[in-house]
Amino acid sequence: MKIASLKLETSYATANEEAVRMCEAALILKDKGDCDGAQKVMRPLWERVGDRPRTDGLDHSIAAEVLLCVGILTGWIGSRREIKGAQEAAKNFITESITYYESVSDLQKVAAARAEIAYCYWRDGEADEARIMLFEALQKLTAEGNTKARALLKLTTVECSASRFNVALRLLEDNVFLFDRVTNHTIKGSYHHELAIVLRNLGAAERRDDYFQRAISEYEEADHHYELADNLIYRAHVQNNLGLLLYNLSRFKRAHEYLDKARRLTVSLRDNIGIAQIDETRAQVLIAERNFVEAESVARNAVSVFEKSGRQGLLADALITHGIALARLKEGQRAQFTLEKAIEVACGVGALNKAGLAALTMVEEIDDLAPELLEQACNQASDWLAKSESREVLLRVVAASSKIRAKVRGRLNREHASEVILSKVNLQNKVDLQREVLEFEGSLIRRALAQANGSVTHAASMLSMSYQALAYIIGGRHKDLLKERSPVRRRGRKRDQQMRRLSSH
């Protein structure tokens, strides 16, 4: 009996150790950007994105590690490959891991797991919720090291996505000593990469050439660490961003050189999405060089890739670039159609800042737009870009308003601005068809809300759109449905104080 018992214990320990080894190896491959490799390593415990990992027979602490690892991979791979429902599945796995960690009183792991859930919320477009959760997690992550560094980088990304670049800069500069002590080259590279992105955006917003020069140095430092980490995907991102920065500085020849490097790296990885991102950047450079024919062709190809892959955020950016190229080629109707599509795509994923840029670009680039549409496009751009921290963007909005005042006589009802821009119908039948489309849209939303018991989050998932986009549509076009949705969840006093504290930074 003793021999059998000893054999059982040894087998049990081996299963736990093997699970830990697989999780560690998979997360290292994630740091290298290797989706397929990470999934292959975890295959004995986890088949595919969306499946629950097998944790039977594992200690609670080890089961928690497996669930957390699978949750992280599910959110990451789901985001890269636009897998529907992946973020919700990731949240569920990570929440289950937290239950296990709490059962063994591992509070640091609980905080680390909550930081990962926060990132899933951010990917779903819920930036405020992500910000609060990360802030709370960082308060409990007292030990300095990789876990705290990753959480800080996540918070920086959230702030950058909300155009809160000054807040992001303070976060990075206040924690420079933490990142100096980190030995993981991917984390160190990500620190310098995030800092470069922040400096590039602040340089553009504040017209600070010194920020641009610092950004170049930070990109080069990021590339150095990614090279040491053997992370080709992240290196390609850095080279692409360097090309974009040099384009902003009108150093077009050097920009092309970096884009060539980025494209070679991405082609070697067979990453079609990455190639299209680089091509979209190159199209911007070609437009600046007045090579509109080639720019249009390159941008059109990028649009095609993003359409086929379902990458809606990237598609909106590429459509704006394509629209500019078409307008510069004096193809006004195609440019208008393309920019209207960019607005629709951006609104569909709740990226109202991108929708605003598309509307603003219509005003700037298309000279023969009807006065009615000019004013309405400018009104929407003003609304959607009102919170932009970019001085350049705000100046563009002011200039667009001046252009319209010179052309438009009288004003239109602002409440109809979205419908006019977003509708592409024959003018002769416009009013009737628009009303029918709105009624049909309203009935679909009402049905989804009923099936989701009033939850906008769940209804948005059923309708394949973001929470923000659905909330915006209900509040703007279907106010009669406000009573059908569940009440907006109010935050407790503690969270309100944290939000005010974050906003004041």
Please enumerate in sequence order all residues whose Cβ is within 8 A of that of 502, keeping only pairs 6 or more positions apart, or say none.
131, 132, 135, 167
pLDDT at 217 (0 to 100): 94
Q: Which residue has the higher pLDDT, 351 or 499?
A: 351
For residue 61 the two structure tokens come to 């602490």
Question: Is 34 part of any domain?
Answer: yes
pLDDT at 66: 95
| Biggest distance spanned by C-alpha atoms of the chain | 95
Flag whether 408 is in a domain: no
State the angle between helix axes of 60-80 and 35-42 in degrees (0 to 180), rounded to the nearest 10.
150
CA 230 to chain centre: 24
pLDDT in tens, 353-395: 888 999 999 999 998 888 778 888 888 888 888 777 667 777 7
Confidence band (pLDDT; 50, 70, 90) for 177? very high
Residue 391 lies in a domain: no
Whether residue 207 lies inside any domain: the answer is no
Give the end of a domain, one of 111, 143, 175: 143
Evaluate whether 362 touches 369 at the Cβ level (below 8 Å): yes
* Residue 119 or 475, more confident: 119
Q: What is the pLDDT of residues 276-330, one digit of tens each?
A: 999 999 999 999 999 999 999 999 999 998 888 777 778 999 999 999 999 999 9
What is the reported pLDDT for 415?
46
Predicted confidence (pLDDT) per residue in 106-135, tens digit: 889 999 999 999 999 888 777 788 899 999
Q: Note the pLDDT tens digit of each residue in 413-471.
A: 444 555 555 554 344 444 444 565 566 567 668 767 877 778 887 777 666 666 767 77
DSSP letters along 261-323, please? HHHHHHHHTT-HHHHHHHHHHHHHHHHHTT-HHHHHHHHHHHHHHHHHHT-HHHHHHHHHHHH
pLDDT score for 80: 75
343 within some domain = no
**Structural domain count, the chain:** 2
Note whether 489 and 482 are within 8 A (CB): no
Q: What is the C-alpha separation between 235 and 237, in angstroms, rounded?
A: 5
**Other C-beta atoms within 10 Å of 158: how many?**
26
Measured CA to CA, the distance from residue 223 to residue 231 in angstroms comes to 9
Which residue is listed with tokens 């970019």? Answer: 390
Query: Can you tell me the mean pLDDT for 264-286?
Result: 90
pLDDT one-digit tens code per residue, 240-250:
999 989 998 89
**In contact, 28 and 73? CB cutoff 8 Å:** no
Question: CA 474, CA 441: separation in Å to the nearest integer?
Answer: 10
User: Please, which pLDDT band fits residue 491 given cuts at 50, 70 and 90?
Assistant: very low
Residue 77 domain-assigned (yes or no): yes
* pLDDT score at 79: 80
State the CATH number of the domain containing residue 60.
Answer: 1.25.40.10
Q: For residue range 189-241, what is the model confidence (pLDDT) as tens digits?
A: 999 999 999 999 888 877 788 999 999 999 999 999 999 988 888 899 999 99
> Residue 73 falls within a domain, yes or no?
yes
- Boundary of a domain, candidates 93, 123, 143: 143
How would you label 122-150 residue by residue, b for 16+ Cβ within 10 Å and e otherwise?
bbbbbbbbbbbbbbbbbeebeeeeebbbb
pLDDT at 350 over 90: no
What is residue 10's predicted lDDT score, i.e. its pLDDT? 40
Confidence of residue 8 (pLDDT cuts 50, 70, 90): very low
Judge if pTM exceeds 0.75: no
Q: Which of 143, 159, 184 finishes a domain?
A: 143
| Parent domain of 131 | 1-143
pLDDT tens digit sequence for 37-48: 999 999 999 998
Q: Which residue has the higher pLDDT, 481 or 302?
A: 302
pLDDT for 410: 44
Per-residue pLDDT tens over the stretch 133-145: 999 999 999 888 8
From residue 485, alpha-carbon distances to 57, 171, 352, 456 in Å are 43, 37, 22, 6
Region for 420 from its dihedrals, namely left if φ exceeds 0, alpha if ψ lies in -120 to 50, beta otherwise: alpha
Has residue 115 been placed in a domain? yes
